[in-house]
Copies of this chain bind each other. A is one copy, B any other.
């Protein structure tokens, strides 16, 4: 059933005239997401301001069999926010309040439209008033944390630099308020660590909006540490950097962050105005944080420095102070944006590999680059084997985008071949659904589809995603 004027009027009554977009030109803003590869225009976008309003909107979609797609900031890199079959886009942008900070239980409750970093910002203000030692923050920190929403993070089960220590988003979600496809409002989970019965919070998290719309989340928060030490190391060989990562981890020291950047990435960063003073001649750079109490962190940092040197690093630096450390980290966090300095366009890849296959994976990514004639930069979370190859290409050259996508495809197939997967944190979405068959048989995909049907028997929730065909 299409979207009639009657339905539009019903939606207007629910959210109010100022919280709906139906104009064709305005709708084009919502036809793309962060992947910029495909576009799909919604019939209407609504901006509810409460879970109750979301529920009423979803109920309308249910009764009229209209596709419905939740959207946060639209930063998805897998086409997750695209309304492939049209229908209603439910923007959570106006549900952006941090509802509760509960320090004793180490939780924060936020609406789905809250920007990831706002949770930590709210905690920082709260910490100021509250007599606690070091304050708290939300540890799931994707690269997009300044723009992406909590709801989107949960839907895609986002990772981040600190996930090696604190786990991915789902490990930091305790409870979810959701609107089910029939318009029912339900809360699963709570503030405690475990809940009886089946893990509904876990199955909804990472389901990319195909089961329900998350409207609120109870998040785990963690306390800051007294001391953080940041170490920068430069290598002439990617293999040596890979070996250093394995050796550091085998000591039992668990760095809170362990990031890898290759030469192309470093040169892109240093070409921009926010250069961090990173050595541009290195083949590989590691950026490592350890956290804890003094003098433990100093001892751990010294141990890591020794390992880096004996693994072949030609330069190892301990940040003098937080200012220097922040400079390095902000350089790292700008890596994706900096690609604009070395190539007009790029695709942000996302795959995972077993950690011991790092050197092999990097070698094979290089081969793919040579084959297609693209430079490919590598920036990734070395601790958990989540690769982000950045394929540089030129949109203006005919056929080049298609070839860049082919190159990415080849890299993801290689990840699977060596025991990894096709996404670490960006999701399968629209964009990689043709590859999910590499990981699961039809039988296994049917198990998943049947679980989807439990929540969404009419198939109206973010249709056309994850599953091929």
Contacts and interface: CB of A to CB of B under 8 A. Distances in A.
Given A104-B355, A354-B105, A439 B295 contact: no
A161 interface: no
A167 B220 CA distance: 13
A353 interface: yes
Nearest to A352: B192
Interface in A121-177: 132-134, 157, 159, 163, 167-168, 170-171
Interface string A167-203: 1101100000000000010101011111111111011
Name the prevailing secondary structure of the A interface residues: loop
A409 interface: no
Given A253-B293, A299-B293, A203 B199 contact: yes
A315 interface: no
Contacts of A167: 167, 171
A223 B249 contact: yes
Contacts of A289: none
Contacts of A421: 190, 192, 194-196
A384 interface: yes
B439 A195 contact: yes
Contacts of A133: 250-252
B448 A200 contact: yes
Interface residues of A, number: 85
A198 B447 CA distance: 10
A27 interface: no
A103 interface: yes
Contact of A198 (B103, B191, B250, B451): B451
A380 B91 CA distance: 44
Most chain B CB inside 10 Å of its own CB: which residue of A188, A293, A386, A452: A293
A70 interface: no
A452 B197 CA distance: 11
A194 B296 contact: no
Contacts of A252: 133-134, 223-226, 293
A445 B196 CA distance: 11
A422 interface: yes
B454 A451 contact: yes
A188 B447 CA distance: 11
Nearest to A201: B202
Contacts of A432: 196
Count chain B CB atoms within 10 A of each CB in A194, A354, A455 and give the residue with the most: A194
A51 interface: no
A75 interface: no
A106 interface: yes
A193 B168 contact: yes
A428 interface: yes
Contacts of A195: 421, 439
A299 B227 CA distance: 12
Chain B CB within 10 Å, residue with most, of A106, A167, A191: A191
A194 B466 contact: no
Contacts of A419: 190-192
Contacts of A445: 197
Contacts of A319: none
Interface in A281-320: 292-297, 299-300, 303
The list of the 9 closest CB pairs from A to B, nearest first, reads: A296-B296, A104-B356, A202-B202, A223-B252, A450-B454, A192-B352, A198-B448, A105-B354, A132-B250
8 contacts: A104-B354, A167-B167, A192-B352, A193-B384, A196-B428, A197-B440, A198-B451, A223-B252
Given A198-B451, A296-B300, A447-B455, 11 more contacts: A133-B251, A134-B251, A193-B386, A194-B206, A194-B423, A194-B425, A196-B423, A197-B445, A199-B199, A293-B299, A293-B303
